[in-house]
Structure 1
Amino acid sequence: MRVVIFGASGMVGHGALRACLLDEGVTEVLAVVRKPLNLGHPKVREIVHTDFTDYSAIREELKDLDACFFCLGVSAVGRGEDEYTRITYDYALAAARAVSAASPSLTFVYMSGQGTDSTEKGRSMWARVKGRTENALLAMPFRAYMFRPGYIQPVSGTVSRTPLYRALYRVTAPLYPLLRRLVPNHVTTTDVLGRAMIAAVRLDGSGPSVLHNGDINRLGAA
């Protein structure tokens, strides 16, 4: 399996990358990044690219892929709707069009979020924009799965790039086993997410296209 990951330097993207490196069925990972990761792993080929609205310069690199894991995203906190839409919707659709044109038979996995608004009409700005993004991706001519995790606990050395979130995760880490027992359908880990993304590709288009936290945990169970 050849996989391209957008957002591999982020917390969720790092979880996806780690899962790919551990999975014997994944033979190559293309990491599209703004800055080099410098991993030096034989499975990983980094593609430094700065314009996430135009992938024409790397079109040839995106051929013969089996899967795309789109993990690039930002928090809506402190951002207006135009900026959040540009990063959330425009970037995702540009990547989807590029990989679909180059590798029409691939499976596209989009990292969305619990509470996403498929109607695109709710009060929550981020949920509307995520819903609009999901709907547009599901209308495209490839197999697609929308992941809607709840609380994500970083594990296995994965860390958030946001200082506030890093502090939050340090506080909540000891509580995660309790949360997992009390609300298992609302919490997951970066390791589980990564394994679930790979498992979704192997579904070969079967099952529901929108996967909630419980579905993700079942797919990613070790």
Structure 2
Amino acid sequence: MKVIIFGATGMVGRGVLRECLLDARVSGVLTVGRSATGLAHPKLREIVHTGLPDLAPIEAELAGYDACFFCLGVSSAGMSEKDYRHLTYDYAVAAGSTLARLNPGSAFVYVSGAGTDAGGRAMWSRVKGETENALLAMDLRAYMFRPGYIQPLYGVTSRTRLYRLGYVVTRPLYPVLRRMFPAAVTTTEQIGKAMIAVAAGGAPGRVLGPADINAL
């Protein structure tokens, strides 16, 4: 199985990349992002592309893949809806529509968020929900991952300073959170393994929360 990862330098993307490189079912990984991961591996190939959401210049490199793990995402804090929509909806839909044309029927796993709702009151929730709906309507085996609290493992860290500090504080509490709220927490390792499982064999539903992700 050959996979594409968008956003492999972020916290979730880096965790997903780690699992892909370790899993024997994944024969090749192509990362697409604004910067390189800094990793070297026989299965890994990277495209540094700063022109998102326009993928036309690199289209020829995206054909022939079985799955895409879309891990690009930004916090909506302090952002206008227009800017957040551009970085969230436009980027994901551009990737999805391009891959639906180049690799129809391939798996596309989109990292959304708990509380996503196209009809919701919160701006980020609406935009994420509209993004999910657009992807689910494409000629893809699209799956929406809605993780709650994500614990980074194996040296994976968030690129956002405030989040990094938060994870340092909550790391010792993760075992307690896992016992008390098993349906609301997951890890970067579990997300990566679940994405590979979904790409390889599907899932019972198209919208998957933390409990579903952990079960996979």
1:119-153 deviation line (CA, Å, top 9, x unaligned): x2221110000000000000001111000000001
Q: Deviations over 1:37-84 (max 9, x none)?
A: 231111110001111111111111111100000000000111110011
Letter of the structure 2 residue corresponding to residue 218 of structure 1: A
**Residue identity in the other structure for 1:62:** L
Superposition map of 1:1-222 within 5 A: 1-117=1-117, 120-204=118-202, 206-219=203-216
Matched AA of 1:85: R
Task: Please identify runs of 4+ aligned residues in structure 1 that moved more than 4 A.
Answer: none
Structure 1's unaligned 5+ residue stretches are none
SS at match of 1:73: coil
TM-score (ref. length: structure 2): 0.98
Report deviation, 1:105: 2.7
Offset at 1:102? 1.4
Structure 2: where are the runs of 5+ without partners? none
More deviation in 31-40 or 181-190? 31-40
Alignment length, in residue pairs? 216
Q: Residue type matched to 2:170 in 1?
A: T
Deviation for aligned residue 1:104: 1.2
Amino acid at match of 2:34: R
**Cα deviation digits, residues 192-221 of structure 1 (max 9, x gap):** 0000100111224x52100111000101xx
TM-score w.r.t. length of structure 1: 0.95
The alpha carbon displacement at 1:169 in A equals 0.1
Q: Tell me the C-alpha RMSD between the 2 structures.
A: 0.9
In percent, how many aligned pairs have the same letter? 58
**Separation in structure 1 between the aligned mates of residue 166 and residue 40 of structure 2, nearest angstrom:** 31
